[in-house]
Amino acid sequence: MRVEPGGLSNINDVKLLICRVLCELDNPIAMSDLTDGMLADGYVNYFDFAIAINDLCENGHVRKETEDGRIVYYITDEGKNADSLLGATLPLAVCEKVYAGVLTARSGGRAVCSIEPHELGCFVRLRFIMGGRELFNVKLEAGDEMVAEDIKRNFLKNPHDVYISLIKMIK
């Protein structure tokens, strides 16, 4: 599997990214959700991911357990330490995109966000797809690209909650 431009090809960076994502979640995540989210956008290659997660478990940075018949991962204090010391060296865009991918995989859906510049600012299109159905498709206007990027980043952090909140508001 090829790594997309801007992705991580150094195994130590992949290990740090896993620690960073697990620190952000601050709770266990199913192996399938972590794998799907980490690999979704091509920022990490499957083989590097498999080696990195195995090494992290062997070295005590990540704990692997079986709960309700599924494998889940927890970050340990050693993993949190590694993240606090070196996590900031990773490209922020990659961290955010992979974290969003993991959250989306966990929710069972897929978030899509695009920014389209126009003469007065930017349009931000937010979409949430679950089970092959588009549940959410909204186009917002933002005053400038920085605001548009904030909207995009916040939506990608937890699109499922945005969807649920909107439904509750208009019910």
Residue ranges covered by each domain of the chain: 11-94, 109-170
Count of alpha carbons within 13 angstroms of residue 144, beta-carbon side: 1
Task: Work out the pLDDT band at 134, boundaries 50, 70, 90.
Answer: confident
Least confident stretch, 70-79, 90-99, 121-130: 90-99
Give 131's pLDDT tier (boundaries 50, 70, 90): low
- The token duo for 121 is 């600012």
Q: What pairing do the DSSP bridges indicate for beta strands 62-67 and 70-75?
A: antiparallel
Summarize the confidence of residues 4-33 as an average pLDDT: 86
When pLDDT is cut at 50, 70 and 90, the band that residue 2 belongs to is low
CA dist., res. 72 & res. 65, Å (int): 5
Q: Where would I find the beta strands (DSSP E) of the chain? A: 29-30, 62-67, 70-75, 109-118, 121-130, 133-142
* Residues in contact with 163: Cβ distance below 8 Å, sequence separation at least 6, in sequence order: 128, 135, 136
Residue 1's pLDDT is what? 55
**Is the pLDDT assigned to residue 24 strictly greater than 80?**
yes
Is residue 95 scored above 80 in pLDDT?
yes
Determine the average pLDDT of the residues in 133-160.
Answer: 87
Q: How confident is the model at residue 33 (pLDDT cuts 50, 70, 90)?
A: confident
Residue 136 contacts residue 127 (beta carbons within 8 Å): yes
Residue 32 has a pLDDT of: 87
Instruction: Work out the pLDDT band at 3, boundaries 50, 70, 90.
Output: low
pLDDT at 14 over 80: yes
What share of the chain has pLDDT > 70, as a percent?
95
Mean pLDDT rounded to a whole number for the chain: 86
Whole-structure pTM value: 0.66
pLDDT, position 110: 75
Q: Does domain 11-94 have CATH number 1.10.10.10?
A: yes
- What pLDDT, on a 0 to 100 scale, did the predictor assign at position 16? 94
